[in-house]
Amino acid sequence: MARPTRFRIALIIVLIIVASGLVGFGVGCYLQFANYMRDLYTPSQAANLVIEYMEVNHGAWPRSWEELHKPFLEHDGTDSNWEELPQRVGIDFTADPAKLATAEEANGDPPFRVVWSLAYPDARLPNDPNRLLLHYLKEQERKRAGRNEQPRGSPRE
| Whether residue 2 has pLDDT greater than 90 | no
Other C-beta atoms closer than 10 Å to the C-beta of 23 total 10
- For 46-57, how does the pLDDT look when each residue is reduced to its tens digit (9 = 90+)? 999 999 999 999
**156: confidence class by pLDDT, cuts 50, 70, 90:** very low
Assign 84 to helix, strand or coil: helix
Does this model's pTM top 0.85? My answer is no
- For 63-91, how does the pLDDT look when each residue is reduced to its tens digit (9 = 90+)? 999 999 888 888 766 667 788 889 999 99
Can you say how many angstroms the Cα of residue 26 is from the centroid of all Cα atoms in its chain?
Answer: 25
- CA distances in angstroms from 72 to 8, 42, 56, 75, 83, listed in the order given: 58, 12, 13, 5, 11
Can you say how many angstroms the Cα of residue 51 is from the centroid of all Cα atoms in its chain?
Answer: 13
Domain-wise residue ranges, the chain: 20-146
pLDDT (0 to 100) of residue 81:
77
CB 139 within 8 A of CB 101: no
